[in-house]
Structure 1
Amino acid sequence: MRVSVIGTGYLGAVHAAGMAELGFDVVGVDVDESRVATLQEGRAPFYEPDLEPLLRKHVGSSGRLRFSTDFATVRDADVHFLCIGTPQRSGSTAADLTYLEAAVETLGTLLAGRTAVVVGKSTVPVGTADVLQARLTELAGPGVELAWNPEFLREGYAVEDTLRPDRLVFGVRSPDAEATLRRVYAETIESGTPVIVTGYATAELVKTSANAFLATKISFINAVSDLCDVTGADVTTLADAIGLDARIGRRFLNAGLGFGGGCLPKDVRAFRTRAEELGAGASFRFLDEVDQINLRRRDKVVGLAHELVGGDVRGRRIAVLGASFKPHSDDVRDSPALDVATQLALVGADVHVYDPVANGVAAAAAPQLSFDKSAFEACRGADVVLHLTEWPEFRAVDPAALAEVVGELNVIDARNCLDRDRWRGAGWTYRGLGVA
């Protein structure tokens, strides 16, 4: 079976490498010439653990993977995966389907008169698959069938999630499309991964509902942390206690700076907007507050920085540890860490940032900031240190050693994962979010 992957951004590059690892001959296609050239050299155009070894293996020794800017190279594939980004539409909270629709137009024309299965993996508003299937039938004829197979990748663990997912969802209209997907994922299914077979609408809603639920859980514990701040309670201990309830669970109950990235924020907004379009908006108005709680976390940390330096950060040196929106990634899209750093710089602080892998990407996104080559360089002479991305490297920093290079012993642990007793024992004024 021959497989094509349309779109080689984060999702597409990982999926193409994963399909090659599962034994398929794969071609990945993209209009971005630079990205394609990088991938064809066996290199990843972004940081994702374990991806580059797979690219080198299959672009090189196995020969099962290649990348191209020529859309015609996908014509003879049996299965075509749509891995096109659906960013937030400019000036709106809705999803922008322009790139996905354009890919379907081109693919449908190429597949005219052929038999193939097109598999959507992009995160889309419910109802999108029906529209795309109708257009594919107009362009290619009845032999081309659409299925929807949403992705559930976690940045930093995307290769693992591709090869060993915790579930597979097949949104299909016929037994033939289901059979094709079962052939594609035969090895994964045989290893015990559960499969849910459903229609288009449910498959589309699974991903957006999951993201909205996770965002709600994060914002809930962050709201509770504000109450902990004014009562002297400890949100970490509280989360441990309620997380032992099997109905709730401990995951995603870590209070702190909140969520960001290229998926969760825009997916929650698009989910809320689509519900409004379909007449169910009243039931999802709480998601507006989920979004606002999350954004207010950033303002809270900025306020704490002002407070620790006497009320005004102008001219004060601020060290920021972390720029990516989460560890094990260089993704700075809607990064809370980079947002906080930028806000402080805009009001006159001298902001120095260090991230283990995202310095280059962050510098391109926020050139007004200074970027250093190590945590100790960023902290040299700092009046306050902000821990904003929970990289293991930062948790391992010796606070006594760091105390030798800073200007003042102030630290804001916006991820609540530093050893507060150890930092306080080294003389630091430690501030977390919702912790005593």
Structure 2
Amino acid sequence: MRVSVIGCGYLGAVHAAAMASIGHDVVGIDVDPHRIALLAAGEPPFFEPGLAEILTEGIASGRLAFTTDVSAASGAAVHFIGVGTPQQADGHAADLTDVHAAIDSLIPHLSPGDLVAGKSTVPVGTAASLAERIAPTGATLAWNPEFLREGWAVQDTIDPDRLVAGVPAGAAGERAADILREVYAPAVAKGTPFIVTDYATAELVKVSANAFLATKISFINAMAEIAEATGADVTQLADAIGHDARIGRRFLGAGIGFGGGCLPKDIRAFAARAEELGKGESVNFLREVDAINLRRRDRAVQLVVDALGGVYGRKVTVLGAAFKPHSDDIRDSPALDVAVRLRGLGADVVVTDPQAIENARRAHPQLTYEADRDEAIRDADALVLVTEWDEYRRQLTPEHASALTHGRVVVDGRNGLDAAAWRAAGWSYYGMGRP
């Protein structure tokens, strides 16, 4: 099948390469010539495990190409919309500028029978309005939300845990669903759940999933606040309640909270859309979810200040810059937020990260960066684990760190270290919600 992907940022680039890897002929289209030049040369413009391999394979096979010319979409049977929907600069709602621009640029190149499949995360009601705009071309719109986890995006695209198709009623919708089944034939053949529904439900699936995950994370962080006030251990608490099959242990890791380009802006946009619908009270809890999440960053900073008796002039090494491991994404990164706040209090902050340093440097040039982990921690008064890369969580032993640092204070913002081992090696260990 010939496929076009409009928008080659994180979502679109991964989707284009993954579609080529399962046998489709794909053209990726984007307005950014630098991004397109990198992709056409087989170089991912961001770090994502496995992407470079399927990108170069797709280009070498002739099944994958990239261009800035939207007319290259002509002749494709399916057109995926994978542009970003960031938070508006002056509010919490989603900015749909790029979605509308993508549709506007694509409409002249659509033919009767084409399928336009939206993958971007949009407010409920968006798909219905877009369907009306493309109707005169004879094309059909489906909404096919993505459920990618950064660091596992290639796997999640090729082998998803579910597929959702929001389609119009009647024969047009049935045909749209059949086309998407063909697009995702390998996953469908494996028995991956394929859920056919209406536009509104498909749009709500993505934001509802993110809202639930954000709520679960903030719930355990709220329990961490209670644990800190009572001397309880939130990690043991999470283990105990996680054995309940109705709850589960995943996403019950207390720490400095979530960040990135999805969860924070999606829950804010969801709440903003609910207000527009006159149902703001239904998701009022999401505002508290957001507030709890942001408070945990404050707590991590306070732990460092208290442990050192003040941070002015003290060297603090922040282990991590990306919002999560296996990514170079620094959007709304709790790790960088903690680093910036410590710097604002007068600490001599050194940030290290295996992948995200250049992105972090562009966003926060006032910080000091060191790619080499051991050089970064040399002579430090305190270490702060804020991104749980294996380089810090598993491979950095307290004995090795002791040979390099000046102080013996470690603040574990992800509760990923072995507290007993660090304390046994003479370190003052401080966790999140742990005694």
Instruction: State how far apart, in whole Å, the 2-side matches of 1:374 and 1:428 are.
Output: 22
1:201 partner letter:
A
Deviations 1:13-50 (A, max 9, x none): 00001100110000000000000000000111100000
1:162 aligned to 143, 157, 173, which one? 157
Aligned to 2:337: 339
1:88 is the counterpart of 2:87: yes
Aligned to 1:150: 145
Instruction: State how far apart, in whole Å, the 2-side matches of 1:114 and 1:286 are.
Output: 44
Aligned to 1:6: 6
Once the two structures are superposed, the pairs formed by residues 172-191 of structure 1 within 5 Å of their partners are 172-173=167-168, 174-191=173-190
Aligned to 2:29: 29
Deviation at 1:373, TM superposition (A): 2.2
Instruction: State how far apart, in whole Å, the 2-side matches of 1:273 and 1:109 are.
Output: 32
Range with greater deviation from structure 2 (343-352 or 260-269): 343-352
Checking the alignment, whether the CA contact within 8 Å between 1:82 and 1:120 is kept in structure 2 is yes
Report the TM-score, using the length of structure 1 for normalisation. Answer: 0.98
Deviation at 1:341, TM superposition (A): 0.2
SS of equivalent residue, structure 1 residue 435 = coil
Aligned to 2:295: 296
Instruction: State how far apart, in whole Å, the 2-side matches of 1:322 and 1:91 are.
Output: 29
Report the TM-score, using the length of structure 2 for normalisation. Answer: 0.98
Deviations 1:70-127 (A, max 9, x none): 011011101000001000011100000001001101111222x533000000000000
Aligned to 1:57: 57
Deviations 1:262-320 (A, max 9, x none): 0100000000110111011111111100000000111111111111111x211111100
1:366 is the counterpart of 2:364: yes
Deviation at 1:346, TM superposition (A): 1.7
Checking the alignment, whether the CA contact within 8 Å between 1:150 and 1:169 is kept in structure 2 is yes
Once the two structures are superposed, the pairs formed by residues 348-367 of structure 1 within 5 Å of their partners are 348-367=346-365
Instruction: State how far apart, in whole Å, the 2-side matches of 1:182 and 1:110 are.
Output: 23
Deviation at 1:435, TM superposition (A): 1.2
Aligned to 1:99: 98
1:74 partner letter:
A
Checking the alignment, whether the CA contact within 8 Å between 1:330 and 1:361 is kept in structure 2 is yes
SS of equivalent residue, structure 1 residue 351 = strand
Instruction: State how far apart, in whole Å, the 2-side matches of 1:373 and 1:4 are.
Output: 38
Deviations 1:401-429 (A, max 9, x none): 21122111000000001011110011000
Checking the alignment, whether the CA contact within 8 Å between 1:325 and 1:389 is kept in structure 2 is yes
1:28 partner letter:
G
Instruction: State how far apart, in whole Å, the 1-side matches of 2:425 and 2:219 are.
Output: 33
Checking the alignment, whether the CA contact within 8 Å between 1:105 and 1:136 is kept in structure 2 is no
1:373 partner letter:
A
Aligned to 1:121: 119
1:22 partner letter:
I
Give me the identity figure in percent. Answer: 59
1:16 is the counterpart of 2:16: yes
Aligned to 2:228: 229
Instruction: State how far apart, in whole Å, the 1-side matches of 2:195 and 2:245 are.
Output: 23
RMSD after superposition: 0.8
Deviations 1:153-194 (A, max 9, x none): 000000000010000001011111111111111111001101
Aligned to 2:129: 131
Gaps of 5+ in 1: none
Checking the alignment, whether the CA contact within 8 Å between 1:169 and 1:203 is kept in structure 2 is yes
Q: Which runs of 4+ in 1 moved over 3 A?
A: none
Deviation at 1:220, TM superposition (A): 0.4
1:42 partner letter:
G
1:368 partner letter:
Q
Instruction: State how far apart, in whole Å, the 1-side matches of 2:214 and 2:329 are.
Output: 18
Matched residues, number: 430
Aligned to 1:330: 328
Aligned to 1:380: 378
Aligned to 2:44: 44
Checking the alignment, whether the CA contact within 8 Å between 1:94 and 1:269 is kept in structure 2 is yes
2:312 partner letter:
R
Range with greater deviation from structure 2 (401-410 or 38-47): 401-410
Aligned to 1:240: 239
Checking the alignment, whether the CA contact within 8 Å between 1:320 and 1:386 is kept in structure 2 is yes
